[in-house]
Amino acid sequence: MIKNDLLSNDFFFYQEIASFRSGISWLFSKEVRLTTGAQAEYTSMSFEFVKGNVANVENSYWNILPYATLRKDFNKQFNTALVYRATIRRPGIGELNPNIDYADPYNLRYGNPGLLPTLSHNFDWNLNYSKGKYYINTSLGFNKVSQVFNTIRSLAEEGKTNITWLNIADRNEYEASVFGGYTFTRQFRMNGSIGYTYNVYGEREKKLYLYRNGGSLYTNINYTYSPSSVWTFEGTARFNRYANPQGISRSNINTNFGVQHKMLDRRLIISFNAIDPFTPQSIRSYTSGHRFEMENFSATRSRNYRISISFQLNRMVQKTPAVAKKSTGAKI
């Protein structure tokens, strides 16, 4: 094998985060409570390259993140809340690493160490209801997001493209979600969720960079069946569809099925998982920009089956609560 220095890099990545938080809570009545406060965060990061095609870099920044929640309890089963919170999403090592990846000579990839975190002002209205065997939670929200970072693909010479990460624009997000569950019996229960988010970009970004509005959808359903204290069956099914400023990515349904059996006084546990046993995982992405349109398709042509065995050395002892004895006596 011949070592290629262009494809080789060796570096140290450092990131420090310091956080300071304070808050206060008012109880107006037994049913109404207001909680508010703020969190200050300092982030510092740096790359120190032993080998690479770029110089050492560093970056640091402060952020103030306020929050407030007004909650109303109508009864033990039903409550609602108005929630405001400022959140931060920091870029990770993959988005920040400035080394150029030459593995695909027609699609050069590299990170951007100057990325700033994405900041968001989130406003949500939550409704929660729980009674007996079932519960349901709903949420409506609006997010004002700034300094959004995302992958941007641009066309270079000879049909090549450059792919990097940029703080592209601000956007508004409108979202709604529902999740809940139902307990059919003590042995069998199910829960699921569905959520939708619609992204809206500014007219300037749409004209200059051909950004487009788009929606993201996620769904999830789970079940658990425990016919006895030593047998457990579980299953999960998911579907995701993600929008980005230059297109959309769509996956197929991902499934996971598992069974667990406990033996030897429940100290030996054997688990079996089947991951996507029916259909392979696949993702289809559409990307468009100035002077180009691309469609990418990727699939994992495999089905994964996993067996795990664990043994608990110390024996679990279940303590029974002591019953107080009632004694009687005579007074003299």
Q: Which domain holds residue 168?
A: 31-38+64-311
Residue 13 lies in a domain: no
Q: 10 Å Cβ neighbour count for 316?
A: 8
Query: Residue 194 is part of a domain; what is its CATH number?
Result: 2.40.170.20
Residues with Cβ within 8 Å of 258's Cβ and at least 6 positions away in sequence, in order, are: 233, 234, 235, 271, 272, 273, 274
- Domain annotation covers residue 5: no
Q: Tell me, what DSSP letter sits at residue 264?
A: T
Query: β-strands 107-109, 161-183: how paired?
Result: parallel
For residue 163, being part of any structural domain is answered with: yes
Q: Residue 186: helix, strand or coil by DSSP?
A: coil
The pLDDT value given to residue 328: 44
Answer whether residue 50 is part of any domain: no
Contact 190, 223 (CB under 8 A): yes
Sign of CA dihedral 265, 270, 271, 277: negative
Secondary structure (DSSP) of 85-133: EEEEE---HHHH----B-SSTTEEE---TTPPPEEEEEEEEEEEEEETT
CB atoms within 10 A of CB 217: 15
Q: Is 8 within a domain?
A: no
Say how far apart CA 131 and CA 40 lie, in whole Å. 39
The answer to whether position 318 is within a domain reads no
Q: What pLDDT shows up at residue 315?
A: 65
Cα dihedral 307, 313, 314, 320 sign: positive
Strands 254-263 and 231-244: antiparallel
- In-domain check, residue 147: yes
**DSSP assignment string, 30-92:** SSEEEEEEEEEEEEEEEEEEEE-SS--EEEEEEEEEEEEEEEEESSSSEEEEEEEEEEEE---
| Token pair 């909650």: residue | 71
pLDDT tens digits, residue range 190-249?
Answer: 999 999 999 998 887 787 777 889 999 999 999 999 999 999 999 999 998 988 888 888
Tally the domains of the chain: 1
pLDDT interval class at 20 (50, 70, 90)? very high
Q: How many CB atoms lie within 10 A of CB 121?
A: 15
pLDDT score of 316 more than 80: no
Alpha carbon distance 148, 173 (integer Å): 12
Q: Is the overall model pTM greater than 0.75, yes or no?
A: no
164 within a domain of the structure (yes/no): yes
User: Given this model, what pLDDT does residue 234 score?
Assistant: 96
pLDDT (tens digit, 9 = 90+) per residue, 64-104?
999 999 999 999 899 999 999 999 999 988 888 888 877 77
**pLDDT digits over 170-190, tens only?**
889 999 999 999 999 999 999
Lowest mean pLDDT among 136-145, 296-305, 312-321: 312-321
